[in-house]
Chain A
């Protein structure tokens, strides 16, 4: 069952990766970053149970915190930072 979960997480991760590659808007990419971060958290947790090391769960929790703070920081910069947008049609 954990194997199936791991495969599902990897598939979701690659789908989020495709969204980050293709875009097209800034927020698609931010969401893709957030999604990959969430999947990293889940993947570490699942790998922990898959290899009989449930203490990986703590690491996964810290990753969730880092991911949350990171996305907040990125969003703040997107909202308040001054991006010079010459020649880019997507801002």
Chain B
């Protein structure tokens, strides 16, 4: 049954992906990318990656939809029809995809307890995490303690990116809103 749900979700993902490429109405594309994120999040939950699914739902369906809508207010709502056929990108994507699929042949089976990833440091973490860090959840212990500096770096990158995006969006918004007005309220105006 879970397999059937997986297949149904993956088929819907493919349909949405093709539709995002084909549609020229950018508002519809933004909505579809939100739907794509929700479907992807369901797939992650089915794969037992609950934390990834949370991130996907919050960032993909929540924040990035809002950001894309903010961008949409600064551009036109229809995409231009491309003049040339994108043959070279298509070939590149197909070759890269084939290489990636070829790469998956060497991966251990999903959930295999003897996979290298589960035998390197994972048993030590599972055994020691609770009394070494005091966190009852092993994932939390790894994220916040064992690789705390890495997480700090990630947070810094995301914070910087967020500030950049906010500056870009709000800056051009102010310019656009100022445009039709006269300059008479400029001195002393609340910024």
Interface residues of A (CB under 8 A from B): 3, 6, 10, 13-14, 17, 20-21, 23, 26, 29-30, 32-33, 36-37, 40, 43-44, 47, 50-51, 56, 59, 62-63, 66-67, 69-70, 73-74, 77-78, 81-88, 90-91
Contacts and interface: CB of A to CB of B under 8 A. Distances in A.
B167 interface: no
Interface stretch (B65-73, B92-100, B126-134, B156-164): B65-73
A29 B76 CA distance: 18
A70 B72 contact: no
Given A10-B8, A17-B35, A44-B42, A77 B57 contact: no
8 contacts: A20-B32, A21-B19, A26-B27, A29-B31, A47-B5, A66-B58, A77-B69, A91-B77
B73 to A, nearest CB: 4
Interface of B: 1-2, 5, 8-9, 12, 15-16, 19, 23, 25, 27-28, 31-32, 34-35, 38-39, 41-42, 45-46, 50, 53-54, 57-58, 61-62, 65-66, 69-70, 72-73, 75-78, 176
A20 B28 contact: yes
Contact of B45 (A21, A26, A56, A81): A56
Contacts of A13: 12
Nearest to B11: A14
A7 B78 CA distance: 36
